[in-house]
Amino acid sequence: MNRNNIKILRVERNLSQEELASQIHVHQTAVSQWENGKTNPDMQTADKLAVFFDVSVDFLLGRSKERSSSYHASNIHSPFIQGNGSITFDEVRLTKEEAEILRIYRQSDVRARAKLLNAALELDGENMSQEGEQV
């Protein structure tokens, strides 16, 4: 892991280690250990950090020089999704296939989630263009 990326991002935002720790609900010691290369954040925490800094997890962990993530919830336009990216339904019943997709999504790391969502959005785009051609 390029341990400097977390520190670089933190310093760019003019945050202390304590302030960053408070924002993502960890102890300041954890931030210090990441920045010094003693430990790495777990995937859930890395995801929180990536969202907080608006960068990809790959960039955060030093696996990519590209800062931007290919997936941002704000890029999804759906009548079901609220401004914060959450979704609320009243009495929704899922088919077995829908439940399986949701299970896979929830058990995946952030990279796999992005791939799954990007594939779904691509299929949705193809379906919309086919509907337009049929009109």
How many domains in the chain? 2
- Each of the 135 residues of the chain gets a pLDDT tens digit; together they read 445 789 989 999 899 999 999 999 999 999 999 998 888 888 888 888 988 888 888 788 777 777 775 444 444 555 555 555 555 556 667 788 888 888 888 888 877 888 888 888 888 777 666 666 665
47 within 8 A of 57, measured Cβ to Cβ: yes
Within a 10 A sphere around the Cβ of 41, how many other Cβ atoms? Answer: 22
The pair of three-digit structure tokens given for residue 46, joined into one six-digit string: 């890395």
pLDDT score, position 71: 47
pTM (whole model) above 0.75: no
Q: Is the dihedral of CA 129, 104, 84, 87 positive or negative?
A: positive
* Domain membership of residue 14 as a residue range: 4-60
**Residue 41 belongs to a domain:** yes
What Å distances lie between residue 57 and 27, 41, 62, 98, 130, CA to CA?
A: 20, 11, 8, 27, 34
Here the CATH number for the domain that contains residue 15 is 1.10.260.40
